[in-house]
Amino acid sequence: MKKKRLQARFRRQILEQAGFRCGYCLTPQRITGARMVIDRILPEAAGGLTTEDNLWLACHACNEFKGAQTLARDPVTGRLVRLFNPCKQRWSEDRTHIIGLTSCGRATVVALQMNHKEIVCARQQWANVGW
């Protein structure tokens, strides 16, 4: 019960800070047809707390793909690196594809499957209508 109250307390603030978009794939909440979830950047299973600096907005797909992951392999270097932190890092605005320029960005794009065929097609449609 306490966790839900804490999340509700931060929800509006997190929505506004996130610009009402998923912190990972940048999908706007208004076009998903579903409420986004509050994601713990460092999951509870890894000791993450329900605090403002550990909470961010995520779409259901990114939240599911991320799960309890905190690390992933950079597809270029093969190194295990921390996943992208939407509270502290920013993506470039690349329209239809999310392009990781750093090892962290590349690993996150792969781990969260952020450029799968369906989402790229959806982003193209959104771009075509000015979203």
Q: Report the distance separating Cα 38 and Cα 18, nearest Å.
A: 11
Cα distance between residue 83 and residue 104, in whole Å? 6
Cα angle 35-8-41, degrees, rounded to a multiple of 5: 75
The residue range of the domain holding 46 is 2-128
Element (H, E) at 130: none
Give the pLDDT score at 11.
83
CA nearest to 95, candidates 25, 21, 22, 8: 25
Instruction: Please give the single-letter amino acid code of residue 131.
Output: W
- Domain tally for the chain? 1
pLDDT digits (tens, 9 = 90+) for 10-54: 788 899 999 999 999 888 898 888 889 999 999 998 999 888 889
**99 contacts 92 by C-beta, under 8 angstroms:** yes
CA 5 to the chain's CA centroid: 22
Percent of the chain with pLDDT over 90: 45
pLDDT, position 1: 42
In what helix (H) or strand (E) does residue 58 lie, and over which residues does it extend? strand 55-58
> Comparing C-alpha atoms, which of 11, 98, 104, 23 is closest to residue 62?
23
